[in-house]
Amino acid sequence: MGESTSASATSGTRTTAQTVVLGPEDAGQRLDKVLARLLPTMPRSHLFRLLRKGEVRLNGKRVSGEARVADGDSLRIPPHHVAPVEVAVAARPVPQRLRELVEAAVILEDDRLLVLDKPSGVAVHGGSGQSFGVIEALRASRPKETLELVHRLDRDTSGCLLVARKRSTLRSLHAMLREDAFDKRYLTLLRGKWELGAKRIDAPLDTEGRVGGERTVRVDPMGKPSASEFRVVQFFGNLATLVEVQLLTGRTHQIRVHARYAGHPVAGDDKYGDEAFNAQMRELGLGRLFLHAHNISYMDPDRHVDVSASAPLPADLKEFLGRLEEASASGRLRPRGGARLDSPVRARGQEPPRPVPRRKVAKKRPGAASGKKKPALGRRGAAMAAAKRAKRVAPVGKSAGRASRTVRRPSGNR
């Protein structure tokens, strides 16, 4: 990889333009990922802004962040402002405590891959108010390695996280992720008693929405296809249910949104959950989102062997489940909060029952015969009917060359 011009990021003002020739290690990567690597101190929101404005050019053309780069591509990075705070963050070392915490979380390691049991509360990368995350800590403790995140977990979600140690491995695993070829399973605690059995939730998700500048995912018929399979692990009376969720697609916040869609939000979820239920769980000792990536499996595309990694429930969640079991033993404790959150998912089908269409009734023609007897008329009604009949004049024949007509007189009341 070479550069025709260089830019100094230490001035704290504005850089000059860069033209970068991408090498084979970048081939197949998304452009936004390449930019994030080349500009590690720039907030992601700024990167996306440069892409939206068309200031980033790939081979002289405007492209989106989802474009894939190739070996030998020419990438122009426009001049951009580097704030002094960014320089300070770049110069500040990753805290030793975070580096030790992340290194201790490694549960599987070979020459191509790291698997971590990510602690809850630690972001996978810096940004959104976090100076450092898992990937920054690993790069600081392993400076000679090329490390890249294979996928992401939410900051408050714990469990299995993959980090590639080679660009070739990253490309292969990203291709598998695009094909949903991973088997990813989570353990989560849901509000109330799950009575849907083994349930597949197929509900498309709109992952691009923003509320107050913060990403908020919602079910939308025009969203991306999304599917999750829920299976009961343990009931806690009517209070809560521990379930295993298998992700069949990998959308942002998918489990949390699908759980709410089913009427059983995740315990401790401040974004999509039930506030009253969350408060009830806090009283019992839950201090975090109850969502844990406990297993990830896939077929290694290069070595053609099965790879599987598991992370048991963290100690704090195990202890909480013990307290929850004692609290729900009587069966009288009910979950607080709204009943099923107006969920459209039902026990005998995911979608709500469709309304029965009304039958169209043809309008009867005047004078058409009816199979039903007409109701009896009262005295006043009979008189009105007789008056109408009296107005009708019917021809009866001809006599002496002229038409003769007779007037029918009513036979009823006069």
- One-letter amino acid at 307 equals V
Contact between residue 328 and residue 240 where contact means Cβ atoms under 8 Å apart: yes
Only one residue has tokens 């991306």, namely 224
Q: Note every long-range contact of 130-136, with CB atoms under 8 Å and residues 24 or more positions apart, other chains counting.
A: 130/155, 131/89, 131/92, 132/94, 132/95, 132/98, 134/102, 134/105, 134/161, 134/163, 135/163, 136/94
Q: Which residues of 275-307 are buried (b: 16+ CB within 10 A; e: fewer)?
A: eebbebbeebebebbbbbbbbbebeeeeeeeeb
Among residues 26, 32, 154, 274, which one is catalytic?
154
| Tokens of residue 243, six digits | 């379930």
- Give 255: exposed, middle or buried? Use CB within 10 Å, 0-12, 13-18, 19+: buried
> How many CB atoms lie under 10 A from the CB of residue 259?
28
Structure tokens at 343: 């969920």
Cα(73)–Cα(52) distance, rounded to whole angstroms?
20
- The angle at the Cα of 223, spanning 220 to 224, to the nearest 5 degrees, equals 140
Paired tokens of 231 = 């299976």
Active-site residue 154, yes or no? yes
End-to-end CA distance of the chain: 112
What one-character-per-residue DSSP string does 196-218 give? S-SEEEE--EE---EETTEE--E
Look-up of token digits 């704030």? 83
Catalytic positions: 154
